[in-house]
Amino acid sequence: MKNSILFIICISIIIIGCGTDLLQDQEWSVNINDIEQGLRNRDDIPAIDNPRYKTLSEVDYMNDQDQVLVANVNGDIKIYPIKILVYHELINESNELISYSTLTGTSSMWRRIVDGVRLDFGVSEFTLNNNLIMYDQTTTSFWSQLLSRSISGTYINTVLPSINVLETHWATAKTAYPDAPVLSIDTGFARAYDVYPYGDYREERDFILPFNMDYLDNRLLTKEKVLGILGDSTAIIYSYDDLPESDIFLTEDIIEENNIFVVGHKNQNYIASFYSTPGVTYTPVENALPIVFNDNLGNQYDLMGRVLAGPDLGTTLDTPKAMTGYWFIFPAFYENIEIR
């Protein structure tokens, strides 16, 4: 089982067949030359459709440095170990979809209801510039994770707004949210979740699937971990490596004429971005997880931008679209990129 997914992907590269016909015969809203068939069949990487959870006291499969996603799922904070997500990539929650694209390291959450229909999603056989392409089981339309829209099929060009999730490590997540449900390794699938299935992929410059080298941008290392704040035509990049060694980093910024601020902490392993409220100033708060900043109105905010104390208790800051991921993927989708 250790190398099962890697084997499936590698052997699929040499397969020529119905995937090529589908690319040629079906309308796509992206350049089909950027699409690769990485799996022999859709669902070779199985989505989790009935996620199970454990409490913090029941979790015995996590180490402090294990990476996790923290998501606000319909008002409830939940924690998703990436060691599980790399084997499944999709989790169909009650009304939301959690996605993690293993080859690009990007993650997102969508509300999976379109025109009143709740769509069940699966992992397709294709990738777009190595990024996850999923499909819905109702119409078999194809959807791009990074673009947050359908790129082929009945729903072509339909947008599902991306809801930001936070990537951090287990030590930070369990300290900030000790009562949050944690995705269980009891998934119904036989997988060695303690074994990363792609070998040294995360550390090496090389790719598993073909990638258009014209998109490579050498300003950062190929798989340097960054937060990409994504506008319509512009992306702003913050590298985890460039965060200060200690203390919370908080800075104001602008993307496509929208005022935002970015907060991060290198040792606690997170970066997040939020829209600024006019007339409000934000200040970091040290050593008070889940609180990480406050404002001049007396509000205290957690990692997800929720007001946990103060006059605006119960509200949450709006966020620009943003994803943590490997640096190489963002120049493949954005020509105008500013590195901070």
Tell me the pLDDT tens digit for each residue of 213-263. 999 999 999 999 999 999 999 999 999 999 988 899 999 999 999 999 999
The answer on 152 and 44 residing in a single domain is yes
**Is 334 a domain residue?**
yes
Q: How many domains does the chain have?
A: 2
Are residues 316 and 72 in contact, defined by beta-carbon separation less than 8 angstroms? yes
Residue at a domain's end among 183, 204, 233: 183
Q: pLDDT band at residue 5, thresholds of 50, 70 and 90?
A: low
CB neighbours of residue 96 within 10 Å: 18
Q: 226 vs 22, 166, 246, CA distance in Å?
A: 34, 12, 18
Cα dihedral across residues 34, 35, 38, 43: positive or negative: positive
Question: Residues 6 or more apart from 326 whose CB is under 8 A from it?
Answer: 104, 105, 106, 222, 223, 224, 225, 226
The answer on 178 and 318 residing in a single domain is no
The answer on 161 and 229 residing in a single domain is no
Q: How far apart are CA 65 and CA 264, in angstroms?
A: 17
**Is 316 a domain residue?**
yes
CB neighbours of residue 127 within 10 Å: 26
Which among 236, 259, 267 is positioned nearest to 318, based on CA atoms? 259
Q: What domain range is 319 assigned to?
A: 221-339
> 261: which 2 tokens?
């601020």
Q: pLDDT band at residue 21, thresholds of 50, 70 and 90?
A: confident
Q: pLDDT band at residue 161, thresholds of 50, 70 and 90?
A: confident
The answer on 169 and 47 residing in a single domain is yes
The answer on 248 and 177 residing in a single domain is no
Element (DSSP H or E) covering residue 22: helix 18-25
Looking at residue 22, its pLDDT comes to 76
**Is 188 a domain residue?**
no
- Over range 23-28, report the average pLDDT: 87
The answer on 229 and 126 residing in a single domain is no
**CA 55 to chain centroid:** 23
The answer on 231 and 137 residing in a single domain is no
The answer on 237 and 178 residing in a single domain is no
Model confidence at 3: pLDDT above 70: no
Element (DSSP H or E) covering residue 122: strand 121-128
The answer on 270 and 149 residing in a single domain is no
